[in-house]
Each structure stands twice: as structure tokens, then as C-alpha cells.
Amino acid sequence: MINKTHQPDAKSWVDVPEGSDFPIQNLPYGIFSTNDQPQKRVGVAIGHQILDLEKAAKHLSIADKSVFSSEVLNDFMALGKEVHQSVRTELFDLLSEGNTTIDASYLVNQSDATLYIPIQIGDYTDFYSSEEHATNVGIMFRGKDNALMPNWKHIPVGYHGRASSIVVSGTDLHRPKGQKMPPNADAPVYGPSSRMDIELEMAFVVGKSTALGDTVEAEEAEDYIFGMMLFNDWSARDIQKWEYVPLGPFLGKNFGSTVSPWVVTMEALAPFRVAGPEQSPTPLPYLQTSGPRAFDIQLEVSLQPEGLAPQVICNSNFKYLYWSMSQQLAHQTVNGCNLNVGDMCASGTISGPTKDSFGSLLELTWNGTEPITLSDGSQRTFLEDNDTIIMKGWCEKDGLRIGFGEATGKILPSKK
């Protein structure tokens, strides 16, 4: 619902630079610590600052204030949407221009803080919900006549990934090793991946549990979603190609995924709701929803070689996804699979209709046949050692910008 916390002209007494991802209308949650106070705790981003909720809790009406002293957001998320909305409104009031209840002593500079994965992630599902991405990959490997598999427009296809290797932005990852089948070879070889890739995705975080055997209706699915984060599903394409038949991704994916440190709530995203692509054929009844279920979230990917400035290689948008989060969650539970607070679901690669909106190097270079030329004249088909990837996301409407920060990571050489 749209309320006073969404007013485009609302201002904070905290200095919020022009173009900041974190105006007073956003108020995303994260986990942070500082050198002088090393215990992890809950904070809210505002401009370049973090509001320390452990300290500010005494000014909030929430009954269990200990949730803000936790090392993860799970206990707070489990309190439910009514509590989340109440806290959001009270934080908005505390930070609004002219309010003197709290002052700068409740704030910490983001540059002085260490940020952590804000969620204790129980299970992680990765979907495959961009028609453009699925079609592009299908054309490359199966041809135009068989680009989409027969089930693709009937179910939100997904697989269960590895939660333990999801890392927070700023964490470097080593190039993975594994089995690969070189072209025209008779037997596989073992070694570092030579086709390291990215996947531009977003993830949503489950904020409400279900019992084993229960299902979530698509129409009510957003009641179970706390918020969203940027997500980079790093992919070793050569390892993936050899291993994925018949059971799907494994070692080519689970060596690491990167998330942004701030969780932007569904409440903050309310003004940016839009309709998704038309779905044909009509989904089965359990996947049908009313009203717009997509969000206009602009997405950007930059590649930064060692010693060079970042170079934008992709501009896409979350609204391109064929299957919505509501449909993904409904399908996840239709067989009775239970949800736990903190579960994470990623969207799958988000590609758009034009080449510059393709969300992976696999597509941007068309399986390595059309290299990207960088500012120094060098080229990339896939990532080289010490390349850094920077993903950004934001919504913008009527002069209001709501951002997600960054999901950044560097690929280091393989460990020996």
C-alpha cells in the first residue's frame, strides 16, 4: 500500500546526497559492525549513514527489541508484515526532517562499518525465469526450432542450489576447478574453468514459514516475501556444460554467489510495481494472479579489469522476467515443500530484448564468438583472473530513486 513513507518530496534531517540509493523512502535493512563496537547488529541505510537500530530501538514500539541486537535479520523478519510496516513508519518519522527525537549519535558512517550477509540462509532456489535468456541459451545449444523446452511456458523452472557458498558483496572468489570436455576431445580433462561467467539476477528473501505439506497461493505469495537483494550467480560454463545432463547445475554454480548487503523491503518497492510480460498460454490456475506483479528495477553490470576503470557491459530490468516472484513461490510450494524464514530464491539471469540487456557473458559474447572490447583495447569473451564485476540496481519514478547498493566481487586465480 502507498502511504506517507512513499512521498517523493519527503526529506530527512540526515544528509542524503542527490542520487543516493538510500533516501528516507527506502530504509533497507542490513547487518553491520564497527571497530569500536565489533558485535554484529541490525542497521538501516540512510544516505551514506547507517541508523543503529540496537541503539534506536528504545524509540520504537516493537515489543521484542532484542531482534535488533541479532547477527541476522531472521528473527525480525519472522514478526510479520504488520510489525514490519509499523517499524517502517516509526523509522520514517524518526528520520524525517524536523524530528529531534534522535540525533547523529545514532548514526554510523557506512565507510566505517563492516557489512555482512544479513540473512541466515536456510535453503536457496535458483529459477530460470527470463524468456529472453532461456531463448538465447536454447538457440546457442539446440537451435531456433527447439530454443525453449516444452515445459518452460507452463512452470517456473528452477533448481536447488548451495546456500553455504553465498557471500556478501566485496568477497573475492577463486576461479573454480573441475572436469571439462574440450571440443572434439574423447575424454574429459581436469583444471581451472576457462569460461568464467556471471549471471545478473535478483533474489527475494522469505519472511514467513510454512508447514510441510502446506502450499502458498500465488495471490497471497507476497505476504511471504520480506524483501529483495541483488544476486550474481557466478557460473563456470565449461564445467556446467559437461556436468548438467541429466540432473542440472552442480559444481559449475555452487562455488559461489554474491549478494548485496542491504535488503530492500517490499513496502519500499510499492510505488514501482508494473505489469510483467503477457503470458501465453495462460498459466494453470494455481499460478494465476491479479494485478501487476513485476517491479520496474533498472539493472546495470560493469566489468573492471585490474588497473582500469569499470566499464558498463549490460543494462537490463527486472520487469522483463516472464515468471513473477509470486508465481515462483507458488510453484516452489505446490507439492507441499515447506518454507523457512530466511530461505532465498533467485530469479535466474535477467536478460532483455536487446543485446546490451543480456545478463550474462555467454549471451553478450554469444558463446565467445563476439568478444567485448574494453577501454584499453583488450577483449573479453569470459572473465579473466582479477576481473571485478559490479552489479547495481535501482528504481526511479517522479524524482524518487530507491536503490539496492552493489553486488561486487573479483575472480582470483584458482587455488593450487
Angle CA(206)–CA(405)–CA(170) in degrees, nearest 5?
Answer: 90
Q: What are phi and psi of 252, to 5 degrees?
A: -70, -10
Specify whether the CB–CB gap between 69 and 58 falls below 8 A: no
Side-chain-facing half-sphere of 64: CA atoms under 13 Å: 10
The CA R_g of the chain, rounded to the nearest whole Å, is 21
Angle CA(25)–CA(33)–CA(17) in degrees, nearest 5?
Answer: 35
The cell for 372 is 567485448
| Interatomic CA distance for residues 204 and 341, integer angstroms | 11
Given the residues 6, 84, 133, 331, the one annotated as active site: 133
- Enumerate residues 6+ apart whose C-beta is below 8 A from 35: 112
CB atoms within 10 A of CB 367: 17
Q: Which amino acid makes up residue 363?
A: E
6 is catalytic: no
- Enumerate residues 6+ apart whose C-beta is below 8 A from 367: 140
Q: How far apart are the first and last CA of the chain?
A: 53
Characterize the bridge pairing of strands 257-259 and 166-168: parallel
With 0-12 / 13-18 / 19 or more C-beta atoms within 10 angstroms meaning exposed / middle / buried, residue 129 is: buried
The SS3 of residue 58 is helix
Residues marked as catalytic: 133
